[in-house]
């Protein structure tokens, strides 16, 4: 009878080999927004979420908000009123609710209070939404993190 160890070695199964790295993203921290591959992967994810069918644009935006918040830790503010048949708007992003406190370089009488992204990506990041009402009264949403 063959031992399990021999069976594994003969079949070429190696427990230390993981699935292939897709564009340098697999295994990376998706909150590492200073990595362009992470932002590209997040944009693909946001684009896939926006392509799903929603009757109202607010539903699509709330779906994207909920998924980014629970899966990555990204948050954005309230959605402005969407008037007209089409338009666009941008909302600033925060990572894990932003940062408040001190680090090793903060003077004793000051505090860090930022979005949690600006210290990694100059100027921070924002999510850009474009919406357009369709003939069947549904709404097409596109979203991109920039």
Give backbone dihedrals phi and psi of 62, rounded to 5 degrees, phi first. Answer: -65, -35
pLDDT, residue 138, reads: 83
Strand partners, 17: none
Describe the chain by its helix, strand, coil percentages, rounded to 5: 25, 25, 50
The C-alpha atoms of residue 49 and residue 71 are separated, in whole angstroms, by 13
The C-alpha atoms of residue 7 and residue 15 are separated, in whole angstroms, by 13
SS3 18: coil
Region of 109 on the Ramachandran plot (φ > 0 left; ψ -120 to 50 alpha; else beta): alpha
pLDDT, residue 12, reads: 59
pLDDT digits (tens), the chain, 146 positions: 778 777 777 765 555 544 444 445 546 687 788 999 999 999 999 999 988 877 888 889 999 999 999 999 999 999 999 888 899 999 999 999 998 998 888 888 899 889 989 989 999 999 999 999 888 888 889 999 99
pLDDT, residue 10, reads: 73
Q: Which of 116, 131, 118 is nearest to 54 (CA)?
A: 131
pTM of the model: 0.75
């Amino acid at each position: 009878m063959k031992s399990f160890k021999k069976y594994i070695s003969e079949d070429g199964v190696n427990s230390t080999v993981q699935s292939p790295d897709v564009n340098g993203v697999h295994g990376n921290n998706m909150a590492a927004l200073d990595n362009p591959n992470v932002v590209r992967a997040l944009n693909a994810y946001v684009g896939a979420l926006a392509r799903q069918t929603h009757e109202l644009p607010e539903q699509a935006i709330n779906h994207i908000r909920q998924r980014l918040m629970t899966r990555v830790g990204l948050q954005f503010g309230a959605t402005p009123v969407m008037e007209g048949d089409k338009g666009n708007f941008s909302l600033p992003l925060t990572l894990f609710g932003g940062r408040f406190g001190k680090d090793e370089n903060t003077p004793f009488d000051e505090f860090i209070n930022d979005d949690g992204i600006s210290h990694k990506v100059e100027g921070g990041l924002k999510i850009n939404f474009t919406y357009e009402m369709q003939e069947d009264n549904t709404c097409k949403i596109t979203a991109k993190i920039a």
